[in-house]
Amino acid sequence: MKTNVNLWWILTAFFGLVAVVYTVWSILAHPSLVWYNAIEWVGSVALVFVTAMAAMIAFYTSRVERAQGGELPEDSLTADIDDGDPEMGEFSPWSWWPLVLAFSAALAFIGLAVGDWMVPIGFGVFAVAIIGWVYEYYRGYFAR
């Protein structure tokens, strides 16, 4: 976890440096303009926001690392693979319903760009996929 914290702080410093270099470079590239008109605002503001987001993630991970009070199994050189393997719950690797769900989301979003008539079709496919995924365990080998 400490490695993650350090990496995010390094990324924060890198993005901050890039934001400063980008802004100064855009000012120097247009010497005939006033400095505030020479700045390419979209890129400069985007890089400042990326710096702020990296700083937020770095701060959050540092607080989580401090609150845990110890090191994770991933950080210990003597840990086994099973030490960092939590129970993730029930997952059906044979199920095709997540693919149908992804298709329904893609269909609805394409409908926003192509035509409004496709969005209800995407929602219909979504409803079928949710029902199929939920009732998958009530038939076949997994009937209870």
* pLDDT score recorded for residue 75: 77
Q: Model-level pTM? A: 0.57
Q: Give residue-wise pLDDT tens across range 33-75.
A: 888 888 899 999 999 999 999 999 999 999 998 888 777 777 7
Question: 3-class DSSP state for residue 73?
Answer: helix
The C-alpha atoms of residue 33 and residue 38 are separated, in whole angstroms, by 6
Estimate to the nearest angstrom the gap between the alpha carbon of 27 and the chain centroid: 33
Q: Give residue-wise pLDDT tens across range 5-40.
A: 999 999 999 999 999 999 999 999 888 888 888 889
Q: Give residue-wise pLDDT tens across range 73-118.
A: 777 788 887 777 776 666 677 788 889 999 999 999 999 999 899 9
Q: Calculate the alpha carbon distances from 56 to 13, 20, 43 in Å.
A: 12, 19, 20
Residue 98: other Cβ atoms inside 10 A? 12
DSSP 139: S
